[in-house]
Amino acid sequence: MSRVLVAMSGGVDSSVAAALLVEAGYDVVGVTMKTFCYSETPDSGKTCCGLDGIVDARRVATALGIPHYVFDVEEDFTRDVIDDFVREYARGRTPNPCVRCNSNTKFRDLLLRGQALGCDQIASGHYVRIEHRAEGSALLRGLDPAKDQSYFLWGLPADMLPRLLFPLGELTKDEVRARARALALATAEKPESQEICFVPTGNYRDLLAKRLPEPHPALQAGAIVRTDGTVVGEHGGFAGFTVGQRRGLGGGFDEPLFVLEVRPETREVVVGTRDELHRERVEVGELNWHGTRPSPGDRVSVQMRYRAPAVAATVGSADDALVLDLLESYPAITPGQSAVVFEGDRVLGGGRIVRAEVGASV
Amino acid sequence: MNPVYLDHAATTPVRPEVQAAMAPFADAIFGNPSSQHRWGREASAALENARAEAAEVLGVKNGEVCFVRGGTEGDNLAVCGAARALAANGRTPRLLVSAVEHHAVLHIAERMAEAGEVELTVFPVRPDGSVDMTGLRSRLGSGPAVISCMWVNNETGIILPVEELAALAQETEAVFHTDAVQAVGKEPVRPGDVEGISLLTISGHKIYGPKGTGLLFVRRGTAVTPLLQGGGQERSLRPGTEDVAGAVGVATALRLAVEEREAEDRRLRALRHTLEKILLSQLDGVVIAGEEARRAPHVANVGFEGVNPSMLLINLDLEGVAASGASACQSGSGKGSHVIEALYGPGVERAHVRFSLGRLSDEAGIRQAAATTVDVVRRLRGEA
């Protein structure tokens, strides 16, 4: 039976993914990636050796009768994910570290080490489906719309896809929990993790303050302005703001105001009304395609935020940058976030949002 | 094929004789040794019998055996306790530890230095196991000092010059501690016969005794400040209700390990020779750490060029060979070994694997492990 390496985070999803592979008769090897040293985080009280995720993954693996190992990817993770996260905020953008990790660190490392361990395939507990077809492998949305995680996987290099398995793609979260309970897995009742794994306190500004040279413009006071340049307030550092955000702007406005834009060169945070948030054209860079790249004039759908629906768009150009004209205007398009291009349920690829513009709607 | 356990330096199973000796203390003899009544007296007698048994084996006085709850605790109590007792005289003591110590010594030494409690010197050890005694002497100065150097290195099996260091300590009136966790049962560990040894740590679970047990030899007259405060147990050095079963376990394990030492030494040396010979003859780019040193019989630390250390170990495990890399934290984070770096300098690219032999080892298992290792290394190098 072919040997599969399954990434186990110590959560319920990857625990069940591993269990399903064992049931299916695969020779399963579990691994947990140690992405950063948790003992550096204050008041977490954890050490590298006692890390919850690693410990839980090992408990589950042992119960399933499979070996379990820890891959230390701290160096790569710091360079590819944390440094990028800090750099993006310092540029006034809002990164997706999980996308970055999947695209650059996690799967690449799993494949590389999997090869050395004689594993033909790599599996994870993502809620996505993959179809291995003669003409190539296709990544599809998970069947449970509430859990679908295809948004996070557009960056997987196309040549990796044929070797991936996603056992949870056709299940709902409830079904996964039920399987975990039926198997009495130690992680069956574990709550969903929401926060960014390397920001367990939830306050990413602390991380930026620790990692950016001081003083850094991203963390210094600046003006809150309207689109006409009128100053309406002051903020404590533009790194605390993301497009569409309402919190942290202070009060006393006649109408609710939202962040429209972050301007790192002047340290300005531009605010405006809900209507002013809308854009019709989006430019996407750092592209990755799973199969053929779309051509100008193609109709696609694009998802620009996790848990947001995909919207219809026409491809303007798709060379170095992808330009998409949205059929309907769309609010709070955020530079740095992923724009994932779909054809129906299939992920074609995606990139990072560079900018969004008004007008030019088709 | 049956899996082969070659990680005896990490831990060992509790041998049947030890289990039998401990069994009554789970229920029949459960008293608190500090109690005056019948139950207490029974427990107390068992505890003191265990102490006498250990003392006899080590050639020391009964009152010089302090039961502790493991090697780490013994090392911490010895190093920290001795330095603090010296500091009570008002002068900051020097603390000299070897670069190849277990973290139970190195880390407490570093914390104490950071806290300003000691002036720390970490002295080097050569790949042949020797120490520059002249250099060490010059660093001792004239004030109060503690020297701590392990008897047998846990990662390489290298035997360190404990008797020389003990002599130096005696001459300079320094307190000398040795971590003998890997030495007992392998080397003739008789602190009673080596006057310069003031403190010596033994762990139970490395010698087929229970985990969480150990003892610290404290030579009469050696001042040690306790780490814990509580009742007066173990002459106040280690307060807390005594683990009678554990004390009986470690004392029994110690006696058996010493009784069997010479026969086991011959047996393990032959097995290790077989293992190393196969690896050296069938693979290129193989180095035995400490090959030029005098080594305890149970450790073969083998460095393989051109392979990733963690992939090598995982593959060995998947193929049924249990060995270890650097004595890493339990999650197996895969950080490099401070011992290999101390011996050979930074930037060693080889993958060092510690195969450690013991009672579970036999000729067939050793040959199987050697053959598996050869296969895995060839595969990882792309030679197969």
The structural domain count of chain A equals 3
Judgement on whether residues A263 and A339 belong to the same structural domain of the protein: no
- The CA–CA distances, whole Å, from B160 to A139, A207, B183, B187 equal 59, 45, 10, 11
Judgement on whether residues A266 and A309 belong to the same structural domain of the protein: no
Residue B284 belongs to domain with CATH number: 3.90.1150.10
Q: Is residue A204 domain-resident?
A: no
Q: Give the pLDDT of residue A333.
A: 97
Mean pLDDT to the nearest integer, A306-318: 94
Q: Tell me the pLDDT tens digit for each residue of B110-135.
A: 999 999 999 999 999 999 999 999 99
CB contact under 8 Å between A49 and B308, yes or no, is: no
Judgement on whether residues A116 and A166 belong to the same structural domain of the protein: yes
Residue A221 belongs to domain with CATH number: 2.30.30.280
Judgement on whether residues B176 and B250 belong to the same structural domain of the protein: yes
**Which ipTM did the prediction report?**
0.85
Chain A nearest-CA distance from B296, in A, is 29
DSSP B127: T
Judgement on whether residues B202 and B273 belong to the same structural domain of the protein: no
Contact between A279 and A234 under an 8 Å Cβ cutoff? The reply is no
Phi, psi torsion values for B50, nearest 5 degrees: -65, -40
> What is the token pair recorded at B117?
């409690």
- Boundary (domain end) residue, out of B259, B286, B313: B259
State the Cα angle at B287 between B126 and B2, rounded to 5°. Answer: 120
Across the A:B interface, residue pairs with CB atoms under 8 Å apart total 41
Judgement on whether residues B246 and B277 belong to the same structural domain of the protein: no
A29 contacts chain B (CB < 8 A): yes
CB contact under 8 Å between B311 and A67, yes or no, is: no
A67 contacts chain B (CB < 8 A): yes
Judgement on whether residues A88 and A12 belong to the same structural domain of the protein: yes
Q: Is residue A200 domain-resident?
A: no
Q: Residue type at B58?
A: L
State which residues form the domain around B198: 16-259
A216 contacts chain B (CB < 8 A): no
10 Å CB burial of residue B38 (0-12, 13-18, 19+) is exposed
Q: Give the pLDDT of residue A362.
A: 41
Judgement on whether residues A281 and A269 belong to the same structural domain of the protein: no
Could you give the CA distance from residue B98 to residue B125 in angstroms, rounded to a whole number?
7
At A39, the pLDDT band (50, 70, 90 cuts) reads low
- Boundary (domain end) residue, out of A273, A289, A317: A273
Judgement on whether residues B254 and B271 belong to the same structural domain of the protein: no
Supply the mean pLDDT for chain A: 92
State which residues form the domain around A329: 276-357
Nearest to A70 among B317, B318, B332 (CB): B332
Q: Give the pLDDT of residue B141.
A: 81
Q: Is residue A189 domain-resident?
A: no
Judgement on whether residues B202 and B117 belong to the same structural domain of the protein: yes
- Boundary (domain end) residue, out of B206, B231, B259: B259
Contact between B94 and B169 under an 8 Å Cβ cutoff? The reply is no
Contact between B320 and B3 under an 8 Å Cβ cutoff? The reply is yes
Q: Is residue A190 domain-resident?
A: no
How would you label A123-141 residue by residue, b for 16+ Cβ within 10 Å and e otherwise?
bbbbbbbbeeeeeebbbbb
Q: Tell me the pLDDT tens digit for each residue of B83-103.
A: 999 998 788 999 999 999 999
Q: Is residue A196 domain-resident?
A: no
Q: Give the pLDDT of residue A191.
A: 87
Q: Is residue A337 domain-resident?
A: yes
**End-to-end CA, chain B:** 21
Supply the mean pLDDT for chain B: 95
DSSP B158: B
> What is the token pair recorded at A18?
């591993």
Judgement on whether residues B250 and B292 belong to the same structural domain of the protein: no
At A166, the pLDDT band (50, 70, 90 cuts) reads very high
| Nearest alpha-carbon partner for B60 in B148, B171, B180 | B180
Q: Residue type at B6?
A: L
Q: Give the pLDDT of residue A38.
A: 59
Mean pLDDT to the nearest integer, A320-329: 94
Judgement on whether residues B207 and B172 belong to the same structural domain of the protein: yes
10 Å CB burial of residue B282 (0-12, 13-18, 19+) is middle
Q: Tell me the pLDDT tens digit for each residue of B171-210.
A: 999 999 999 999 999 999 999 999 999 999 999 999 999 9
Residue A288 belongs to domain with CATH number: 2.40.30.10
Judgement on whether residues B188 and B297 belong to the same structural domain of the protein: no
Judgement on whether residues B146 and B29 belong to the same structural domain of the protein: yes
**End-to-end CA, chain A:** 53
The pTM for the full model equals 0.89
Judgement on whether residues A250 and A140 belong to the same structural domain of the protein: no
- The CA–CA distances, whole Å, from A82 to A41, A85, B159 equal 14, 5, 44
Contact between A108 and A93 under an 8 Å Cβ cutoff? The reply is no
Contact between A322 and A315 under an 8 Å Cβ cutoff? The reply is yes
CB contact under 8 Å between A48 and B330, yes or no, is: no
Judgement on whether residues A166 and A284 belong to the same structural domain of the protein: no
Q: Is residue A224 domain-resident?
A: yes
A51 contacts chain B (CB < 8 A): yes
- Boundary (domain end) residue, out of B259, B283, B304: B259
Judgement on whether residues A177 and A261 belong to the same structural domain of the protein: no
* Cis peptide preceding A256, ω within 30 of 0: no
Judgement on whether residues B351 and B253 belong to the same structural domain of the protein: no
Intervals of chain B under pLDDT 50: 327-334
Judgement on whether residues A287 and A256 belong to the same structural domain of the protein: no
- Minimum mean pLDDT among A148-152, A252-256, A327-331, B225-229: which range? A252-256
| Nearest alpha-carbon partner for A146 in A307, A11, A16 | A307
Judgement on whether residues A131 and A261 belong to the same structural domain of the protein: no
Positions of E strands within B29-76: 65-68
Cβ neighbours of residue A26 closer than 8 Å, sequence gap 6 or more: A1, A2, A3, A4
Judgement on whether residues B118 and B188 belong to the same structural domain of the protein: yes
Q: Tell me the pLDDT tens digit for each residue of A227-251.
A: 999 999 999 999 999 999 998 887 7
% residues pLDDT > 70 (chain A): 95
Residue A119 belongs to domain with CATH number: 3.40.50.620
The structural domain count of chain B equals 2
DSSP A22: H
Judgement on whether residues B156 and B279 belong to the same structural domain of the protein: no
Judgement on whether residues A232 and A314 belong to the same structural domain of the protein: no
